[in-house]
Amino acid sequence: FVWWYNGHPDYSSLKPDLRRSDTAVILGQGNVALDVARILLRPTTELASTDIARHALSALEESSIRKVYLVGRRGPVQAALTAKELREVLGIKNLHIRIKETDLSVTPADEEEMKNSRARKRIYELLSKAAAAAGTSEADPDQRELHFVFFRQPDRFLESDERRGHVSGVNLEKTVLESVESRKQIAVGTGEFEDISCSMVLKAIGYKSVPINDLPFDHKKGIVPNVRGRVVSQTSGGIPQTEPGLYVCGWLKRGPVGIIATNLYCAEETVASISEDIEEGACESAKAGSKGLLQLLEERNVKK
Ligand code: NAP
């Protein structure tokens, strides 16, 4: 879905059904989940001035989705969001934020987590403030709703009786938090369940890169092994051997973490490695560069 609205060529024909009902459920409470909620809920008049893929904008203009449930298996203190991204969503015009008051009560273990992380505390405060503001605002018929659902883990998808093979909801198990290590709290199922009806469920519970052709790949970490962006083809006597002219950056280089700025620094590091290698003549056996790319595109009849 993210690739669809970001214009990834392989997913431009995804055609998500945005007109079946007014409700979508997003599993996960990280920045990807938040980004998807933003796309579903932000007025299309505002999306129109962004670089969203045009096919996605047209589909969203016809969308009937008005309610989005963002489901997290832990609490507001553990939501994997960052403040800037959360503020952007909380600032969407005519968006009613719904958070159960009981979900905002904190335990001593939560207090401890917030004491150890300003970022966690900030997110908790932003969510509490949004919940309080929503509690006093007037209902508006045009309003869209974003429900932060905490302490629920997905158990199974519900199948529509009328449309076999299509989703009609999600069954969620209530959870409680248990401290495992000194600072980490994990979600544990309670055996109590509830459903949310919806016509669309999107999973945003993290990402793992996939290997590319014959490139070396660390399956456990989901990365191409590298030293400052230089691809490591093998290790000899404990020393990594890099592949001349082959580089990696982004999530394939360091795993699926970090905000946009992290990717900028990551790319700069790889580019610095490439520059150093060019200066030292270590890339002589390497590929033909931009000229080679243009030639390849021409051979394959790719439109420029
Ligand atoms: P993420 O930050 O790791 O969040 C994953 C979410 O899914 C968490 O709420 C996690 O809960 C939950 N989850 C994981 N496994 C689950 C399971 N089995 N059942 C239920 N819930 C589960 O991943 P992400 O949202 O894909 O983001 C990846 C990285 O990209 C992050 O570093 C993010 O900040 C970044 N990003 C940045 C931007 C931006 O800069 N604007 C935009 C999008 C993404 P637990 O915490 O309980 O595991």
| pLDDT tens-digit series, residues 223-262 | 999 999 999 988 777 888 998 889 999 999 999 998 889 9
Within 10 A of 193 (CB to CB), how many other CB atoms are there? 13
Q: What is the pLDDT of residues 259-293, one digit of tens each?
A: 889 999 999 999 999 999 989 988 766 667 788 89
Atom nearest to 207 CA in ligand 1: 26
Query: What is the DSSP secondary-structure string of 44-104?
Result: HHHHTTTT--HHHHHHHHT----EEEEE-SS-TTT-B--HHHHHHHHTSTTEEEEE-GGGG
Distance CA 286, CA 151 (A): 52
pLDDT at residue 134 in the model: 82
Best CA proximity match to 134, nearest among 75, 79, 92: 92
Amino acid residing at 139: A
Domains of the chain and CATH, by start: 1-203 (3.50.50.60), 226-300 (no CATH)
Q: Long-range CB contacts (< 8 A, 24+ apart) of 53-58?
A: 53/4, 53/5, 53/6, 53/7, 53/12, 55/4, 55/12, 56/4, 56/5, 56/7
Sign of CA dihedral 257, 66, 6, 216: positive
Element housing 245 (H / E): strand 239-247
pLDDT at residue 238 in the model: 80
Phi, psi (5° rounding) for residue 244? -60, 135
Q: What is the pLDDT of residues 107-116, one digit of tens each?
A: 999 999 999 9
Distance CA 65, CA 147 (A): 13
Distance CA 99, CA 72 (A): 12
pLDDT at residue 234 in the model: 82
Q: What is the mean pLDDT of residues 286-301?
A: 86
Centre of ligand 1 to C-alpha 207, Å, is: 8
> What's the pTM?
0.88
Distance CA 153, CA 146 (A): 18
Atom 23 of ligand 1, residue of closest alpha carbon = 206
- Which of 205, 252, 265 is the pocket-test mutation for ligand 1 (most atoms within 8 Å of CB)? 205
Q: What is the pLDDT of residues 177-231, one digit of tens each?
A: 999 876 789 999 999 999 999 999 999 999 999 998 888 999 999 999 999 999 9
Q: Lowest mean pLDDT: which of 44-48, 137-141, 163-167? A: 137-141
Amino acid residing at 126: L
- Which of 5, 27, 29, 32 is the pocket-test mutation for ligand 1 (most atoms within 8 Å of CB)? 32
Contact call for residues 123 and 85 (beta carbons, < 8 A): no
Instruction: Give the tokens for residue 255.
Output: 């795993």
Amino acid residing at 28: G
Query: What is the DSSP secondary-structure string of 199-211?
Result: SEEEE-S------
Atom nearest to 205 CA in ligand 1: 7
Element housing 39 (H / E): helix 31-41
**Which residue ranges have their beta carbon within 6 Å of ligand 1?**
27-33, 35, 72-74, 78, 80, 82, 85, 153, 187, 204-207, 256-260
Judged against a pLDDT cut of 80, whether residue 135 lies above it is answered with no
Centre of ligand 1 to C-alpha 257, Å, is: 8
Within 10 A of 64 (CB to CB), how many other CB atoms are there? 12
